[in-house]
Amino acid sequence: MRDYSFLVWLKRFLDSKKGKGGQKNELHRHLGWLLEQGENRQPKMFCPYCGERLVSFFALYRDYREEHAFDFNHAYCRDCFRDKCPPSTIRGEAFLFSFFGKKLNSWERSLAIKLFKEVFGLPERLTRGKAFEFFVNPDNRVP
Ligand SMILES: [Zn+2]
């Protein structure tokens, strides 16, 4: 997962090289497909608030400096996000792997990785092979 922002960067780089009407090469097509799989993975963690539904969101809120911050310690289902997220919440952020393409500092990144691992039931030691398997396995798709 640490490689995700690199993949996003590489995809953008290849996109910019393609130009108008250009053909996508094999690597480019494969990368695009792999990145799309990160947008349709199904969270496996049940909501810690109701215990009934799978989680959908974590919260983006304002911290004391009025800057944006992410609540990496909590995940919510759709209903509990509406009813139980902190009042300073701006919006819910879905569990999409494109999140790792955002500008995050190393602290935010490590917290986000921890949360995503928990939410998607990924192993603590996530090898490249295990990550790939997770992204390609159709059983992990949002139904
Ligand atoms: Zn809930």
Residues 50-65 have a mean pLDDT of: 91
In Å, what is the CA distance from 44 to each residue of 77, 79, 84, 115?
11, 17, 20, 12
Kindly report, residue by residue over 7-27, the tens digit of the pLDDT: 777 777 777 776 656 677 888
pLDDT at 1: 59
Measured in angstroms, how far is the CA atom of residue 112 from the centroid of ligand 1?
20
Kindly report, residue by residue over 69-124, the tens digit of the pLDDT: 899 999 999 999 999 988 889 999 999 999 988 888 888 888 999 999 999 999 88
Measured in angstroms, how far is the CA atom of residue 41 from the centroid of ligand 1?
19
Measured in angstroms, how far is the CA atom of residue 46 from the centroid of ligand 1?
8
Report which DSSP code applies to 103.
Answer: -
Instruction: Name, in order, each residue with C-beta under 8 angstroms of 140's C-beta and a sequence gap of 6 or more.
Output: 41, 42, 120, 134
pLDDT at 18: 66
pLDDT at 114: 92
Per-residue pLDDT band at 67 (split at 50, 70, 90):
confident
Measured in angstroms, how far is the CA atom of residue 85 from the centroid of ligand 1?
11
Report yes or no: 34 and 101 within 8 Å, Cβ to Cβ. no
Confidence check: pLDDT of 63 > 70: yes
Residues 57-67 have a mean pLDDT of: 83
The candidate with the shortest Cα–Cα distance to 56, out of 96, 105, 29, is 96
Measured in angstroms, how far is the CA atom of residue 35 from the centroid of ligand 1?
28
Report yes or no: 108 and 77 within 8 Å, Cβ to Cβ. no
